[in-house]
Amino acid sequence: MPRAKKTVAETTEVKNTAAEVVAAEVEAAAPAAKKPAAKKTTAAKKPAAKKTAAKTAVSENVYVQFNGTEITFAGLIEKAKAESGVKAPKKVDVYVKPEENMVYYVVDNNAGAFSLS
């Protein structure tokens, strides 16, 4: 069954009703915003307690062991930096492919590779 089309008068009435609802909500919220601010007490300020966070040194290492060799991720990154020849790299990406026994790297858009062993 097709819906009957609304007339212009019905559409205007719906818009006016929606506008009245919004206006009523704004008026209801306005008196709360106009309340005077509560007076602040002038209590003596205490110095903030210093928070001492216990800093614990965490040693994190990842080792790759494959085919009788072992190397750390940090070692792979350092070797990639050295192989690339870039003195102060901003970005270093290292890809390890143990099935090929190769490490591929990109250091500041300079790509290269070296053997994993």
Domain boundary assignment for the chain: 69-115
Q: How far apart are the first and last CA of the chain?
A: 77
pLDDT score for 57: 84
Instruction: Provide mean pLDDT across the span 33-45.
Output: 58
CA-to-CA separations, 69 to 60, 79, 94, 95, 102, in angstroms, rounded: 20, 15, 18, 17, 13
pTM of the complete model: 0.48
Of the pLDDT bands very low, low, confident and very high (cuts 50, 70, 90), residue 47 is low
- The burial of 42, by beta-carbon neighbours within 10 Å (0-12 exposed, 13-18 middle, 19 or more buried), is given as exposed
